[in-house]
Amino acid sequence: MECYLNRGTAYLKLANTIKSTTPQSHETTINYQNAIDDFTKVIQNEGSRLPIAYTRRANAYYELQNSKAAWDDLNIALKERPNCQETNYHLAVALLLSKKTQEAISCFEKAASLKDEGYFIRIKTILCALYYERKEYKKTISCSQEALDHVEGPNAVVFQKFIYEAQKALQKEIPPKSPK
């Protein structure tokens, strides 16, 4: 069953790659459907023993605009592994796309607190952007500084820019003191 999990993951990544260059491609739809089929085989044979299959199938369902199936799979995955960073990340993305920003932020924060580093940079980048968009500049700075403790190189530049822009915005919010 691991081969279906791996192949489903490859289909999912391929579909995401094609989508980034050709958003309305028929090939993208076929690859998402192939991913769903492979993850379904894993689920049928392994059940809840491999909740990551539910998470990844939910991702493919969501990309194909089947949000009910995506939510159902995410709920099963979370029930089995509530502290899975990948599942919490995808739930947060689904919440964000559903315009449930505050719930998404809470879910991103939980995902960021989990030990797996696989989604850390993505999570922190989205969190910093959400904080900044909501004019929560102190949170933007704090989130960025925490991320800088774990990244370097080009990834660090993103967080340094968040800090710079948030500090600049904070300075505009504070009126200058009048001389006495």
Handedness of CA 168, 174, 178, 180 (dihedral sign): negative
At 62, list the tokens: 């969501």
Q: Burial code of 97-136, b = ≥16 C-beta within 10 A, e = fewer? A: eeeeeeebbebbebbbebeeeebbeebbbbbbebbbeeeb
At 33, list the tokens: 């459907």
Digits of tens for pLDDT over the chain (180 positions)?
Answer: 789 999 999 999 999 899 888 878 899 999 999 999 999 999 999 876 788 999 999 999 999 989 899 999 999 999 999 999 999 999 998 898 889 999 999 999 999 998 776 888 889 999 999 999 999 999 999 999 999 998 888 889 999 999 999 999 999 877 656 555
**CATH code for residues 1-82:** 1.25.40.10
